[in-house]
Chains A and B, each alone.
Chain A
Amino acid sequence: MHKLDNGITMHDPKKCIGCRYCMFNCPYGVIHFNWQKAHKVWMDGEALIKDCTPSPLELTEKLGEGKAPPYFNPARGETLPVVRPKGVVEKCTFCDHRLRRGQLPYCVEACPADARIFGDLEDPGSDVSVLLGKFRPFRLKEELGTEPNVYYIRNFNPAAYERTKGGV
């Protein structure tokens, strides 16, 4: 686990030895371990519809491992292995590959209620900074001194701010 320049805590599957110490010690329970091959269905030799569709294994062999549906996300491969390796830990990356392109994390983008707002806490003019100044935010388990960068606003007046998803 390490901090990126933008403040995101990031895992590195090349260096992770799979000891799960970070999981053991994470007070938020947000780190997960790949107990087995994450995309093992790619190696399934059984076709969905016999004599009609190819089996995942046939498709994988034809396209090359890591380049077959249904989970293939080429964009993800820009910063992390596109096929999630087994025996290492992983956590939310805030879609760091999207952030590099100036895009918002996908959960923020997709949230229909705009309940997730993303932005630069260092910038006093950013939407997140303005909102945190306007309402009374809190963070989980602040007493542990982990200084999390995820804030929660419980009580707010929806009329008091312009609806936003934030910005990068």
Chain B
Amino acid sequence: MMKLRFWLVILGLGLVAGLITAFRVFTTGFVLYAKTDILVWTLPIATYIFFSLTSAGLAFVSSLPMVFGVRRYEFIEKRTVFLELAVLAAGFACLILHLGSPLHTIYFLFSPNPASPLWWLAVLYGIYVVVLLASFWSIHTLRASKLFGALVFLVAIGTSTTLGWLVGMTDARPVLNPMFLSAYFPVTAFACGLAATLLANLAAVNFLDSSFSRRQWEMLDELSKIFGVVVGVVLVMSLWRIIAGGISSTQVEFAAMKRMLGSLSFQMEFWLGMVLPLFLLLIPAIRRSTLGKATACVSLLAGMLFARLELVLSGEIIPLGQMAEGQPSFVTYWPTSSELLVTVFGLSILLMIYTLGERYLGLDYALEPSLPVSEADQVPEYAIADNGLVETEEAAGVKK
């Protein structure tokens, strides 16, 4: 209980800091950001992209039991869908703090422009929130709906690929390729979704009262293998983005990609977001251990946040048109404290909603057990050790 209170106090501080930042941004103006007329998209929108794609990735994970009928994953269903809601809320908070006039969205929605990916994204998010809430409610009331699950899955494909269309349709920034991004975003989203799912379930067992059966642990190990494969795909896609879209091109605009290779955000993306998790997940002993899984997940999520920032910056560090007058060939970026606090705000919202959900909504048990209880499931308690599962004395006693 003390630990929970301490955790809630930390999150509360994060929320207060974020609310103060929000108030300052909307009263003083966006001068609090590292704003220039060249770097118009910075950390707040990169954080929004990160959360938005992670939410879509969680939808892909939750679709395994809900849409594709992989019933052995039903035990992660409720937690994953709720986490998706929390991540989406965090993403919206960061998006609002990026937009100069968020209240004008109402005019924007009611004067449709189907040629604009931004309009489509707004419409898709509207549908997403509704079907996601409906989906969670159906699971919470033990009437999990395949229809809502399928809608969430389809809309998540829509949001992640439309976001690729949005960022990629910037013809003035050829380094951002729409065809590539609409494939790259869902794949990296899936990696983030798997990492968030694994992390949430590991946290539930370690810090909450949840306990998993051996079968459920095996399912988490299986998810870790899928996670490893997806991280490998992300690495290959990223390498081709660098080679085909950056190093081998002679177009002036592509010099931005080469420039970004030396940046901190790229280094973090490459090593934390791809190499380290892949290395950890390739070694079976590490992959099976709780610490190994958790480290891979945290590393990937942190690396992917840097990846979103690197992607956005690669599109704009070369000044264009008359903005280039009096500017260096490449501009540099370092976030301000207000921008960092927007990210902290998003994380605090996510973790606060999720913590309250764990506490009051019972995210462990969603459905009546749909599978016959196997012999392995009857083993009640397993403790977690760094090198894997250890049967506890109590559990052994029950068995006897």
State the A residues within 8 Å of B (CB).
14-21, 23-30, 32-37, 85-89, 140, 144
Contact = CB atoms under 8 A, between A and B. Distances in A.
B105 interface: yes
A14 B37 CA distance: 21
B172 A27 contact: yes
B367 to A, nearest CB: 40
B107 A35 contact: no
Contact of A17 (B33, B100, B169, B172): B100
Contacts of B323: 29
A140 B322 CA distance: 11
Interface string B215-248: 0000000000000000000000000000000000
B319 A29 contact: yes
A35 B100 CA distance: 8
Nearest to A40: B29
A88 B100 contact: yes
B28 interface: yes
B126 interface: no
17 contacts: A15-B107, A15-B108, A16-B104, A18-B104, A19-B118, A23-B40, A24-B316, A25-B171, A27-B321, A28-B321, A29-B320, A33-B30, A34-B100, A36-B28, A87-B30, A87-B101, A144-B172
Contacts of A35: 29-31, 33, 35
A37 B108 CA distance: 22
A24 B173 contact: yes
A27 B166 CA distance: 16
A132 B385 CA distance: 79
Contacts of A33: 30, 35, 37, 40, 100
Contacts of A34: 29, 100
A27 to B, nearest CB: 4
B102 interface: yes
Given A18-B99, A34-B100, 8 more contacts: A17-B101, A17-B104, A24-B315, A28-B322, A29-B319, A30-B321, A33-B30, A34-B29
Contacts of A140: 321
Given A26-B172, A144-B172, A20 B322 contact: no
Contacts of A17: 99-102, 104-105, 108
B118 A21 contact: yes
Contacts of B10: none
* Residue with the greatest number of chain B CB neighbours at <10 A, chosen from A15, A19, A29, A32: A19
Nearest to A32: B37
Interface in B322-367: 322-324
Contacts of A14: 104, 107
A144 to B, nearest CB: 6
Nearest to B321: A29
B124 to A, nearest CB: 15
Contacts of B324: 29
A36 B171 contact: no
B250 interface: no
B320 A37 contact: no
Nearest to B36: A35
A94 to B, nearest CB: 16
A85 B98 CA distance: 17
B172 A36 contact: no
* Residue with the greatest number of chain B CB neighbours at <10 A, chosen from A14, A87, A88, A89: A87
Given A17-B108, A20-B41, A25-B171, A87 B29 contact: yes
B374 interface: no
Contacts of B31: 35-36
B111 interface: yes
Interface in B193-235: none
Given A19-B118, A24-B41, A30 B322 contact: yes
B100 A24 contact: no
Interface string B20-37: 000000001111010101
Contacts of A21: 118, 166, 170
Contacts of B30: 33, 35-36, 87
A24 B40 contact: yes
Contacts of A19: 98-100, 118
A112 to B, nearest CB: 21
Interface in B32-54: 33, 35, 37, 40-41
A85 to B, nearest CB: 8
B36 to A, nearest CB: 9
